[in-house]
């Protein structure tokens, strides 16, 4: 099979499908290059002195790991000077990062979760980077938080890297989903899956079952039915997986189907995952692959964000399963 690099793929998307502009292509390539650097740092582990805590807290009040800080710095540094961005926002930074005045500004806004799956860093389990690209609203010169508060349907690109046994970049520019594996000798991302399509049904679910006592009735109902297996209403056995790195769980679902849930519950009343940095980009990718993504009731990409660091319940993956969970929520009495 002829190998296609990320650069070739993007140029083809630009020329043949008009799905990306030259500016957007360059922006995605810069993000991909930053992911290569992060992948390199991750692969060094203890030898590179990158494991352990940074001794600081992020805006969410969560203890930052050294790699959270390193990945954030790598992405900011790589993106701020290229001239493609009007501003960028990160899960690790309280306010949007303005492009220093010495650099030109572009038309895009970048949102990122620099290091997703922080609890897995020190135990050598897959982690990743998630990103999303929006257009800066017309006429906005110094984009503040308000400029970023756009629904996920406005995304022009989204992607994530998984730093696992190999490094994989998954990307959508709104014309399907493709995955690229990092060829370390060549230093290039080479396409290894094109036109990813999610199977509508599944026999695998992903949820942190330690939250079970806090779940709402519709989630309990769905999981109970899965657990009942062949003897229950579903009439088939289900398997369960939970990596605790959304990037790894979503990549598995893109590869062989499944459903991922981090729903609102009695402990995480507004949800646990971040709308702008995790839920929206993943929802865009999953929908582009033929799947669905809701917060249990509403399509995630149609939610109008009110805050940059807002959280949301997440149910995404194979369409028939997401529709079922959403239906169970809609049939249940509305949340108090």
By the criterion CB under 6 A, which residues form the site for ligand AFP?
A: 62, 113, 116-119, 208, 244-246, 262, 273, 278
CB of 259 to ligand AFP, least distance (A): 13
Nearer to ligand AFP, 222 or 260 (CB): 260
CB of 26 to ligand AFP, least distance (A): 27
Nearer to ligand AFP, 97 or 241 (CB): 241
Q: Please, what's the largest Cα pairwise distance for the chain?
A: 66
Cα separation, 15 vs 1, in Å, equals 22
Dihedral sign computed on CA atoms, order 111, 115, 116, 118: negative
CB of 52 to ligand AFP, least distance (A): 15
Give Cα separations from 232 to 1, 212, 224, 240, 257 (angstroms). Answer: 45, 19, 9, 16, 21
Nearer to ligand AFP, 3 or 208 (CB): 208
Cα separation, 271 vs 72, in Å, equals 24
Cα separation, 218 vs 232, in Å, equals 16
CB of 214 to ligand AFP, least distance (A): 11
Nearer to ligand AFP, 208 or 307 (CB): 208
Neighbours of 55 (CB within 10 A): 9
Please identify which residue in the block is written with the tokens 């990160």.
90
Neighbours of 205 (CB within 10 A): 24
Cα separation, 295 vs 297, in Å, equals 5
Nearer to ligand AFP, 24 or 35 (CB): 35
Q: Alpha carbon 279 to chain centroid distance?
A: 6
CB of 193 to ligand AFP, least distance (A): 21
CB of 297 to ligand AFP, least distance (A): 20
Angle (CA) 117 335 223, round 5°: 55
DSSP 62: P
Dihedral sign computed on CA atoms, order 316, 322, 323, 327: negative
CB of 275 to ligand AFP, least distance (A): 12
Nearer to ligand AFP, 117 or 281 (CB): 117
Nearer to ligand AFP, 119 or 239 (CB): 119
> Which residue in the shown chain puts its C-beta closest to ligand AFP?
246
Nearer to ligand AFP, 8 or 211 (CB): 211
Nearer to ligand AFP, 45 or 137 (CB): 45
Whether the CB-CB separation of 5 and 189 falls below 8 Å is answered with: yes
Q: Length of the chain in residues, anyone?
A: 336
Please identify which residue in the block is written with the tokens 């769905």.
222
Whether the CB-CB separation of 28 and 175 falls below 8 Å is answered with: no
CB of 206 to ligand AFP, least distance (A): 8
Cα separation, 265 vs 213, in Å, equals 9
CB of 244 to ligand AFP, least distance (A): 4
């Amino acid at each position: 099979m002829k190998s296609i690099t990320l650069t070739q793929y993007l140029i083809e998307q630009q020329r043949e499908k008009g799905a990306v502009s030259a500016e957007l292509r360059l922006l995605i390539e810069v993000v991909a290059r930053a992911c290569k650097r992060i992948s390199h740092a991750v692969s060094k582990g203890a030898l590179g002195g990158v494991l352990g805590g940074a001794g600081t807290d992020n805006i969410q009040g969560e203890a930052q790991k050294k790699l959270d800080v390193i990945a954030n710095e790598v992405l900011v540094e790589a993106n701020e000077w290229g001239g493609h961005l009007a501003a960028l926002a990160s899960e690790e930074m309280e306010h949007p990062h303005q492009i220093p005045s010495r650099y030109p500004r572009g038309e895009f806004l970048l949102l990122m979760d620099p290091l997703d799956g922080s609890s897995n860093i020190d135990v050598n389990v897959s982690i990743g980077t998630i990103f999303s690209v929006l257009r800066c609203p017309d006429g906005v010169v110094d984009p503040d938080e308000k400029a970023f508060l756009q629904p996920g349907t406005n995304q022009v690109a989204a992607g994530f890297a998984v730093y696992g046994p190999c490094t994989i970049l998954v990307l959508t520019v709104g014309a399907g989903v493709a995955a690229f594996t990092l060829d370390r000798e060549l230093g290039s991302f080479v396409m290894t899956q094109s036109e990813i399509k999610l199977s509508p049904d599944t026999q695998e679910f992903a949820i942190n079952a330690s939250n079970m006592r806090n779940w709402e009735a519709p989630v309990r109902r769905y999981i109970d039915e899965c657990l009942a297996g062949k003897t229950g209403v579903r009439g088939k056995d289900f398997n369960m997986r939970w990596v605790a790195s959304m990037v790894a769980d979503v990549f598995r679902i893109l590869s062989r189907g499944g459903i991922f849930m981090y729903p609102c519950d009695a402990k995480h009343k507004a949800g646990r995952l971040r709308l702008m940095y995790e839920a929206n980009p993943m929802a865009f990718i999953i929908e582009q692959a033929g799947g669905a993504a809701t917060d249990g009731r509403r399509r995630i990409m149609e939610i109008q964000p009110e805050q940059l660091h807002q959280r949301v319940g997440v149910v995404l993956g194979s369409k028939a399963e997401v529709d079922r969970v959403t239906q169970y929520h809609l049939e249940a009495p509305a949340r108090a």
